[in-house]
Amino acid sequence: MAAPLDDILAGCRRGQPGAQRALYQHLAYPLMGVCLRYCPSRAEAEDALQNAFIKIFSNLHQYTGQGPFEAWARRITVNTAINAYHQRQQRGPHVEYDEAIDLAHPDGTPLEQLSADDLLRVLQTLPLGYRTVLNLYAVEGYSHAEIGEMLGISEGTSKSQLARARRLLESKLSFPTPAKIAAK
């Protein structure tokens, strides 16, 4: 039976490896999902997750119990991924991913057939700036002003990047319909 989170956190504060392992197992999957949304590759997402856990363990004394621990850890992870974004920007342009595979499926509508993995693959084909703004706005719930401050861009640029990301996603997710085919 799993130990209650408060017991795990107390063990982590005492530096107990078993408690640290339990906390990692408790948070790794959801936090990896956060990292995958911000990082251009799985390897970079794994690096960001590792760095996030280092920060979580190092700063555990700062968690005061105000609000859910998972939300506190998630915020650290988002900030860690954003820091990795800034480092990638300083290194220069990133390499684009190959276009997503054709997602149309003969059964049902294409959007009904779109799995979370498929959607993640399509999101990762977006340019890094578009994807980062889209994640911060649509998934994390930040305002354009907050996004601008986090990324060092204007609020207007954040809005523009979101609009472009949505248009690009729409074009990547548009599937041939009988009307579109007949029009050709």
Q: How do residues 30-58 score in pLDDT, each as one tens digit?
A: 999 999 888 888 888 999 999 999 999 99
- Report the C-alpha gap between 92 and 130 in whole angstroms: 16
- Domains, in order of start, for the chain: 1-95 (1.10.1740.10), 104-184 (1.10.10.10)
Which pTM value belongs to this model? 0.57
Burial (Cβ within 10 Å: 0-12, 13-18, ≥19) of residue 73: buried
From the list 102, 131, 94, 130, the residue with the least C-alpha distance to 118 is 102
52 contacts 76 by C-beta, under 8 angstroms = yes
Q: pLDDT: is 49 or 115 the higher one?
A: 49
- Tokens (6 digits) for 157: 């640029």
- Greatest mean pLDDT among 9-13, 100-104, 171-175 lies in 9-13
Element (H, E) at 118: helix 116-123
- Tokens (6 digits) for 38: 């911000």
Residue 103: predicted pLDDT: 38
- Report the C-alpha gap between 92 and 22 in whole angstroms: 38
Give mean pLDDT, residues 131-153: 86
Percent of the chain with pLDDT over 90: 30
Q: Which residues have C-beta within 8 Å of that of residue 23, sequence separation ≥ 6? A: 8, 9, 12, 56
**Which tens digit of pLDDT belongs to each residue from 51-63?**
999 999 999 999 9
5, pLDDT greater than 50: yes
Residue 51: predicted pLDDT: 94
pLDDT class of 70 with cuts at 50, 70, 90 = very high
Virtual torsion, Cα 83, 44, 53, 68, nearest 10 deg: 70
